[in-house]
Each structure stands twice: as C-alpha cells, then as structure tokens.
Amino acid sequence: MRFEKTTRLLIHIVLIIAAIITLFPLVYVIMASFKTNAEILTNPSAIFPAHPTFNNYIEAWNSDVFDVKRMFFNSMYYTIAVVASTLLTSSMGGYVFAIGEFRGKKFWLFAFSITMFFSMGSVTIYPMLKILNVLHVPKSLPGLMLIRIFSVSIVNIYLVRSYIYSLPKDLIEASKIDGCGFYGTFFRIIFPLLKPIMATIGILGFQGSWNEYLMPMIFTLGNPKQSPLIVGVIALSKSGEAAASYNLVFAGTVISLLPVLVAYCVANKYFVSGLTAGAVKG
C-alpha cells in the first residue's frame, strides 16, 4: 500500500515536471508579448514584464509593415475552407466504406490505405505546381485551398468508418423502412450522429491547417498579401527587422495561438470521446 502511494507520488512529480517543461515556452511567449521591445532586449531572462502593456497587440493588429489583421483573416478563411472540406470528404468517405456496397470496395479501401505508409514530403511540391500550371490555376493561397479541398485523409476516413460501425445497425434498417435512400440515410440519420468524431477531425484539421507553414509559404511567395499569419510571424522573426520588432513577433505569435485554443475549448467535450470511439471500435 505504501509502495503504491510512493509510486503514484513519483508519477505525479514526473508529470508535473514534464508539464512545467512543456508549458514554460508558452508562458514565456505570452508574458513577453506584454513587454516593451526595450525590456525584451535588455532583460530577456525575466519571465514576467516589469510594466505590462497591451500596446504590442494594438500595434501588431494595426501595423502596415507587419499586418497581423490581414494575415489573421487569410489564415482564417484558408483554415475554415480546409476544415469544412475535410469534414465533408471524411464523413462521406467513411460512410461509403462502412455502409456502401459496390464492386471493388475492398480493393479501393486497400488502395487508399497504402497511402498511409508513404510520405513523399516536399517531393510532391513540384508535380503539384506542374498540375496547377496545366489547369491554369495561379500559385496563390486560393490555389492551395483548391488542392487541400480535393485532398483526402485515409486516417480520417478510417476514424469515421469505425465510428459508424459502433452505431446501432437498427438505425440504418429503420431509415430504410421509413423510405430513406442511401444519401438520405447519411444526411438525415448518420451525419447528425457523427458530432464527436467530427469534432475530433475538425480540431485536428484546424490545428494542422492553421499552423501549416511550408506550403502556404511557397504558394504565397509571389503575393505576400495572401500570406497566412504563421508565415508572416516566421518571416518577421527571421528578417533583419526582428531585433526591432520582438514585441510584435511575440504578440503575433500569441494571436496565432488563440484560434486553436478556442476551437479546442469549444469542441473539447466531444474530442476525447470521438477519438476513442473512432479509433477503438469497429
């Protein structure tokens, strides 16, 4: 009994230390966003600001050089479009592979599944740009949105498919008796029941697309006004003006964190249950 208590205490100590190490950079960035640039440069080791100020956020939001407002809205409409398309394709794909009956179903599921084990990374960028040129789609943020909209995540399809398998089969039989067809069953019966797994996929998709850097950076090189917030923050931090704008960099970084935190807080009650049900059952 005493051994169990000691073990539990040690586990809690280790977890607390790990949490402190993990959260310290985040706390430092948030605190630094309330410091003046002079204070950041003269006393960078101090965690808490000597004279907190909210002017950094106002200056960053209204700045002409580092236009956080424009980049924030670029990130927002890009992320919303990607997440909406991800939810639609994932839910419909999972439903088709779970309920649908068609020739070659196992083959197509196997073919899609193979893509999980191959990561081409940046090798696919050049062919992607060539395809856009053939289709006369400009290399821009809307062009990248078009690519993301037609992208399919087999992992998300598996999550939805497994979640649908966990639902009572009587629901589908009852919908057929009531006259619902294949599509009617999906939109009227199945889709409303997918809230937990949709919340899980939505949060993961929101976090991934909002924090995406490489592809948005490449696609907006020719038009910086279309740059998302993450691209702008990293570009400013690596520019020659960074030493004179650390306060704006920190303020922009905190602003970029807020939407992800808000999305998680809103859908938190569905997140864990959706991920667990979709990953375990089926």
* CA 225 – CA 235 distance, rounded (Å): 13
What is the Cα Rg of the chain in Å?
23
* CA 44 – CA 28 distance, rounded (Å): 10
| pLDDT in the model for residue 16 | 93
* CA 97 – CA 122 distance, rounded (Å): 30
- Does residue 175 register a pLDDT over 50? yes
When pLDDT is averaged across residues 80-84 and rounded to a whole number, the result is 91
In the chain, pLDDT over 90 holds for what percent of residues?
Answer: 7
pTM across the whole model: 0.79
Categorise residue 138: left if φ over 0, alpha if ψ from -120 to 50, beta otherwise.
beta
**Distance between alpha carbon 186 and the CA centroid of its chain, in Å?**
25
| pLDDT in the model for residue 111 | 81
Q: Could you write out the DSSP letters of every residue in 162-228?
A: HHHHTS-HHHHHHHHHTT--HHHHIIIIIHHHTHHHHHHHHHHHHHHHHT--HHHHHHTTT-GGG--
| pLDDT in the model for residue 273 | 61
Q: Count CA within 13 A, CB hemisphere, residue 140.
A: 8
* CA 153 – CA 32 distance, rounded (Å): 38
Report yes or no: 50 and 39 within 8 Å, Cβ to Cβ.
yes
The label of the residue with tokens 């670029």 reads: 74
When pLDDT is averaged across residues 202-208 and rounded to a whole number, the result is 87
- Sheet strands (E) in 59-123: none
Q: Which domains occur in the chain, in start order?
A: 66-280 (1.10.3720.10)
- Does residue 281 register a pLDDT over 50? no
| pLDDT in the model for residue 1 | 61
The first and second tokens of residue 243, run together, are 């030493």
Nearest to 207 by CA among 265, 252, 161: 265
- 280 in helix, strand or coil? helix
Burial of 259 (C-beta count, 10 Å sphere; 0-12/13-18/19+): middle
pLDDT band at 251 (very low <50, low <70, confident <90, very high): confident
| pLDDT in the model for residue 131 | 79
Query: pLDDT, tens digit, for every residue of 4-44?
Result: 778 888 999 999 999 999 889 889 988 988 988 888 888 88
**CA-based angle 139:234:18, to the nearest 5?**
125
Report yes or no: 177 and 47 within 8 Å, Cβ to Cβ.
no
- Does residue 242 register a pLDDT over 70? no
| pLDDT in the model for residue 57 | 86
| pLDDT in the model for residue 129 | 79
Mean pLDDT of the chain: 82
| pLDDT in the model for residue 159 | 86
Q: Which long-range contacts (CB under 8 A, 24 or more apart) does 90-93 make?
A: 90/152, 90/153, 90/156, 90/157, 90/159, 90/160, 90/201, 91/160, 91/186, 91/191, 91/194, 91/198, 92/186, 93/152, 93/156, 93/157, 93/160, 93/161
- 50 in helix, strand or coil? coil
